[in-house]
Every structure is written in structure tokens, then in C-alpha cells.
């Protein structure tokens, strides 16, 4: 079977979208699917990051996959909203042309959204090739950008909602990575039998990685955040937590990643004169996991918006694999899962007092941390192993 996978983000790019598509491509390749990936030149957060050849050498298992990279006139994933729309439109228009020029026909097309403009490529090519179209939804976009007030202009939102309606209608099946998406999508008129739940997770081999050479410090408790520092995450909350715990010299904080809010939280940490916070910048996937494995507590946070009650932040799987009890401020589906499975301590978003108390509690109770780590390994094995969950996609194809 010949399959086209359309994704704006793909290795060596970092980020949740790239990681998810990496895993899907890897397992489709293992199944002997004749796979072509349409993606962009690596741009997030900027091109300079990928000039170092070592990024390309990480083990992604993608050697036998054809990759079409759309040329990108932009040097980085700009925070400028006009440039950001330009980047999306460039990928959409050039992507359609690049696939057609390739002269290869496809039995099925898998496209991931957001950005929603990538889904337009799938809709256009479905008609051209008379292919099955499988839509992978990682976020309820454009609802999320509307709630975050990133784009307030109806000139942007109206076309986005129009594209959303078209892509849901044209898709033969819709993959979701959180069961929290089910009710919102049903409210948009999508029937249950069109939805297939395939969460993010880890590969089975990851559970047997030997981490003996990455022992955690015993005299210091390190709290780590690794991920996007954007509008949605509200990582200024972590700076407030660090401020409240600055007199506890045995507790330190590490922040990995970049995003539109990075400068804001760096300035906040500087303003508070926090010596207990380190910004490690953008690291490769392997370097991130090394830092996670040396840490003791993983931090998550999402702003208190209705749309974020449906999501599962993908970073929690890396946290659990690195044996990090989770502390953070979230509501809804992910908060319920973390609490019910006893893999972390959760508060409401921006509840600095409770988040600080949770970190102190875990810092002082090693047995509690060990119990949560055991619960995490069971949860990963039972529900979040790619080797098992990918079979649903294979069945669809």
C-alpha cells in the first residue's frame, strides 16, 4: 500500500507534533507500508538549530522512507502573526504542487492538524487520487487559538472554521490523541464511528532502556519543565512557584525549550533574582531525555481555558519514562487521569500555593515518589505503548 503522510513538523524538528509523526512513520515503515512524508524544511524554532549535523544522526528509524521537504522562505517559526500565516500558506500551496510533481499515486493519505492548512492539502489530494483520507487531530484548532485570543480577526477565524468543517466532512476516519476530544467533536456533528483513539506514548523498547549511568542527585531535588513556552502553557506559573520556594536551597528548577513567552519568563525570573532557576534552551531529543532522567519531578501547566480540559500534554509520557512524578496546574481529562492513576499531584492552573506544597511534599517523601513511578510504569504498559496502539491505524489502512 502506498501512503502519503502530511505533516508540517517532522524530524529533525523538535516538538510534540514531530515526535508523534515520527512514531507513526516509524511503525508504518516497519509494517512494510510504501510511505512518503510531505513536510517542511526544519524551521521550528529556527533554521540555525539544524545546521549541526548531529541532529540528523539521532535514531529515528526513518531510513527507508521517502521524504519530500517543502522549501520555506522563512528563517524561523516567527512570532509575527502575519509571517506565521505566511508559513502555513506556503506549506499548503507548495505542498500540493510538490506532491503532484512527484507523480506518485497514493492509496491512502494521513494528514495531521494543526495547522489546519495542512489538512487542506489532504482534502485536495484525496480528490485527485481518489484516496482514503485519515485525519489526525492533535488539538481542537481553531477553537484553541480563538480561546487564547491569538487571532481575533474574523478574516482569519472564519476561513479557519470553514476549513475545519470541510476537513471533518471529507475525512474517512478521524484519529484523536485524547478521549477528551470525543464530546467536543460530537458537538460539531461528527459521529462516534468516525473517531479512532490513538494516544501518544512510548515505544516498548523504551521501557528497557538502561538508565543506571543517569542516577538522580540525592542532595538536591530538581524540578524540570521541558516543552513549548507559549501562550497555552502559562509557564510564568513555574517562575512564581520557584519564587515561593527560593528559601529551600535543596530544590532547584530547570526549564528546557523555547516559545513566544520565553523572554517574558526569563525577565520575570531576573526580576525576582531567582538563583534556583536555570534556562537550558533548546536541546536535542537525546539531550532532553538525559536532563529528564537526572531530575526528580516533572512540571506541567495549561491556562484555565475550556479547550485545554480535553488535551493530554505529550510531555507527560517522557516524564513518566524518565521516572518523574508529575506536579502541575491543569483541569479536565489530564487532571483526572493523573489523579486517578496516582502518578502525580495536580492543582488548578496558577494555584501557586498548592503547586509549591505538592513539590515540597514529593521532595520530602521518597517513598511517595517511588510509588508514583511504579504506577507510571504500569500506566504506560497498560495504555500508552505505540507498538500496540498503532495497530488501530494499520487496521484502518
Residue 34: the pLDDT is: 95
Category of 101 on φ-ψ map: left (φ > 0), alpha (ψ -120 to 50) or beta? alpha
Span 94-123, pLDDT tens digits = 999 999 999 899 999 999 999 889 999 999
Q: In whole angstroms, give the CA distance from residue 271 to residue 150.
A: 26
Report residue 131 as a C-alpha cell.
Answer: 484516496
**What's the DSSP call for residue 177?**
S
- Does residue 299 have a pLDDT over 60? yes
Cβ within 8 Å of residue 33, ≥6 positions away: 1, 2, 3, 397
Report residue 383 as a C-alpha cell.
Answer: 495504555
Residue 150: the pLDDT is: 67
Span 310-336, pLDDT tens digits = 999 999 999 999 999 999 999 999 999
- Does residue 348 have a pLDDT over 90? yes
Residue 52: the pLDDT is: 67
Report residue 197 as a C-alpha cell.
Answer: 483513539
Question: What CATH number does the domain located at 206-383 have?
Answer: 3.40.50.2000
Span 19-74, pLDDT tens digits = 999 999 999 999 999 999 999 998 888 888 787 655 554 556 677 789 999 998 88
Across the beta sheet with 251-256, what order do the strands follow?
277-281, 251-256, 221-226, 297-301, 326-329, 344-347
Share of the chain above pLDDT 70, in %: 94
Across the beta sheet with 195-197, what order do the strands follow?
66-70, 34-40, 2-6, 108-113, 132-137, 173-176, 195-197
Higher pLDDT, 61 or 303: 303
Span 203-256, pLDDT tens digits = 998 887 645 456 788 889 999 999 999 889 999 999 999 999 999 999 999 999
Residue 212: the pLDDT is: 46
Q: What is the mean pLDDT of the chain?
A: 91
Span 159-186, pLDDT tens digits = 788 888 999 999 999 999 999 999 999 9
Q: How confident is the model at residue 296 (pLDDT cuts 50, 70, 90)?
A: very high
Domain formed by 2-198, architecture: 3-Layer(aba) Sandwich (3.40)
Domain with CATH 3.40.50.2000 in the chain: 2-198, 206-383
Span 360-397, pLDDT tens digits = 999 999 999 999 999 999 999 999 999 999 999 999 99
Q: In whole angstroms, give the CA distance from residue 280 to residue 225.
A: 10
Amino acid at each position: 500500500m502506498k501512503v502519503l503522510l502530511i505533516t508540517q513538523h517532522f524530524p529533525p524538528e523538535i516538538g510534540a507534533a514531530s515526535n508523534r509523526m515520527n512514531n507513526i512513520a516509524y511503525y508504518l515503515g516497519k509494517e512494510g507500508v510504501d510511505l512518503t512524508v510531505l513536510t517542511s524544511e526544519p524551521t521550528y524554532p529556527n533554521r540555525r538549530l539544524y545546521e549541526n549535523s548531529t541532529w540528523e544522526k539521532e535514531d529515528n528509524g526513518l531510513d527507508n522512507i521517502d521524504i519530500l521537504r517543502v522549501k520555506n522562505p522563512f528563517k524561523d517559526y516567527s512570532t509575527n502573526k502575519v509571517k506565521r500565516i505566511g508559513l502555513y500558506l506556503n506549506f499548503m500551496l507548495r505542498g500540493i504542487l510538490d506532491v503532484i510533481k512527484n507523480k506518485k499515486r497514493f492509496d491512502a493519505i494521513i494528514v495531521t492538524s494543526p495547522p489546519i492548512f495542512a489538512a487542506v492539502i489532504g482534502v485536495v489530494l484525496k480528490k485527485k487520487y481518489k484516496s482514503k483520507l485519515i485525519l489526525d487531530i492533535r488539538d481542537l484548532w481553531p477553537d484553541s487559538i480563538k480561546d487564547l485570543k491569538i487571532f481575533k480577526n474574523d478574516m482569519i477565524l472564519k476561513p479557519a472554521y470553514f476549513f475545519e468543517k470541510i476537513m471533518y466532512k471529507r475525512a474517512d476516519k478521524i484519529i484523536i490523541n485524547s478521549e477528551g476530544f470525543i464530546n467536543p467533536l460530537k458537538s460539531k456533528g461528527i459521529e462516534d464511528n468516525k473517531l479512532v483513539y490513538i494516544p501518544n506514548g512510548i515505544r516498548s523498547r523504551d521501557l528497557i532502556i538502561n538508565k543506571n549511568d543517569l542516577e538522580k542527585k540525592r542532595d538536591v531535588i530538581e524540578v524540570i519543565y521541558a516543552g513549548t513556552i507559549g501562550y497555552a502553557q502559562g509557564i510564568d506559573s513555574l517562575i512564581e512557584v520557584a519564587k515561593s520556594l527560593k528559601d529551600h536551597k535543596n530544590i532547584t528548577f530547570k526549564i528546557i525549550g523555547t516559545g513566544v513567552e520565553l523572554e517574558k519568563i526569563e525577565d520575570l525570573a531576573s526580576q525576582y533574582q531567582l538563583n534556583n532557576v536555570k534556562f537550558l534552551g533548546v536541546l536535542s531529543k537525546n539531550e532532553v531525555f538525559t536532563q529528564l532522567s537526572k531530575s526528580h519531578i516533572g512540571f506541567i501547566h495549561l491556562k484555565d481555558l475550556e479547550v485545554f480540559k480535553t488535551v493530554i500534554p505529550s510531555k507527560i509520557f517522557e516524564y513518566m519514562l524518565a521516572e518523574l512524578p508529575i506536579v502541575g496546574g491543569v483541569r479536565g481529562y489530564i487532571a483526572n487521569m493523573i489523579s486517578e492513576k496516582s502518578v502525580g499531584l495536580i492543582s488548578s492552573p496558577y494555584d501557586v500555593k498548592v503547586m509549591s506544597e505538592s513539590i515540597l511534599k514529593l521532595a520530602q517523601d521518597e517513598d511517595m515518589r517511588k510509588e508514583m513511578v511504579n504506577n507510571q510504569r504500569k500506566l504506560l504498559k497498560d495504555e500508552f505503548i505505540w507498538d500496540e496502539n498503532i495497530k488501530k491505524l494499520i487496521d484502518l489502512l
